[in-house]
Amino acid sequence: MPGSKSDQCERSSGAGSPTQSCVYKLPKRNLSLSDAGTYYCAVATYVTQTERIVQPDLLVTAELGDDVTLQCFYPRDQTSYLSWYKQTVGQNPELISSSYKHSQDVLFYNGFKDSPRFTVHGGEGRNHLTISNLQPSDSAMYYCGRTQVNKLEFEKGIFLILKGSKSKNRTVVQQPVSEPVQPGDSVTLQCTIDTETCAGEHSVYWFRRGSGESSPGVIYTHGNSSDQCERSSGAGSPTQSCVYKLPKRNLSPTDSGTYYCAVATCGEILFGNGTKLELGKQHC
């Protein structure tokens, strides 16, 4: 009888959880009449838990006033305490909540302690954070953490962007790629923001959504990029124009997708309209 045949399985990951397809074969040679009959295949398998925290969505976009749930899954047998942290662009992380995995009681901290808009739903390997009636200040990175033997671990986090927070005087424009590109080429993606002058620093993020992906993932951050802006003053209020570039060299088919530029400035995050990058056939 075949034993472990995990080497005959191929893993594939799509929009949901990773899956695998397995094919098992039973060779029958030099057949005789005694081999006639019905053959049944039985597979003994078992489910293993994830060994780390999983936040399936790297980027979540929502409108002002919406309710949103940020998902977090954790290994039940290897976790003692759970927590949520919020990191607004340019600021230190803030502790939102903490809980013991076997308890329904959740403790909230800082400004979240008296806010009914934040709730945590736990149990059975889940530690989901729900934010209701979204406000502009909710745009941030959210990290789900777990503690095991005095060790605090995090995943990559979820970037929550509020699309309804755009201002008439602040827009992000992304230019399309002017020429077709092939594998091995180089291209520079660009986005421009025209905004009223405001105090404080701002940061720039680039996201990419590949074919078949449910949501874009963060691929690059500029940090403080105020040195890439030029100020101009006219008859009206002073304005500044900022141009941010993302060079892509030695392109391969995996670079295909739609690239989004997001700029955190003046207390809000502005989301660009996206630049589609399609790779044609390789040069002969």
**Average pLDDT of the segment spanning 31-47:** 66
Q: Is 141 exposed, middle or buried (0-12, 13-18, 19+ CB in 10 A)?
A: middle
Identify which has the larger pLDDT, 136 or 138.
Answer: 138
Distance CA 241, CA 270 (A): 14
- Strands of 45-170 (E only): list them: 59-62, 68-70, 81-87, 94-100, 106-108, 118-123, 126-131, 140-148, 151-154, 158-162
Place of tokens 């909230």: 108
CATH of domain 59-164: 2.60.40.10
Strands 94-100 and 106-108 turn out to be antiparallel
Distance CA 270, CA 81 (A): 35
The pair of three-digit structure tokens given for residue 162, joined into one six-digit string: 């509020």
Query: Buried b / exposed e across 169-190, counting CB within 10 Å, b at 16+?
Result: ebebebeebeeebebebebebb
Q: Residue 10: in which H helix or E strand, if any?
A: strand 9-12
Identify which has the larger pLDDT, 274 or 90.
Answer: 274
Do 264 and 203 meet the contact criterion of CB atoms below 8 Å apart? yes
DSSP-derived 3-state class of residue 147: strand
**Cα 155 to Cα 119, 207, 257, 282, distances in angstroms:** 20, 18, 24, 37
Domain locations in the chain as residue ranges: 59-164, 166-277
What are the tens digits of pLDDT across the range 61-114? Answer: 888 899 999 999 887 776 778 899 998 866 788 999 998 877 778 999 998 998
Global pTM value: 0.58
The pair of three-digit structure tokens given for residue 73, joined into one six-digit string: 């899954």
- Matching fold, domains 59-164 and 166-277: yes
Question: Within 10 A of 106 (CB to CB), how many other CB atoms are there?
Answer: 20
Res 174: pLDDT:
84
Q: Is the dihedral of CA 98, 104, 105, 110 positive or negative?
A: positive
Res 96: pLDDT:
95
CATH of domain 166-277: 2.60.40.10
Instruction: Give the single-character DSSP code of 65.
Output: T
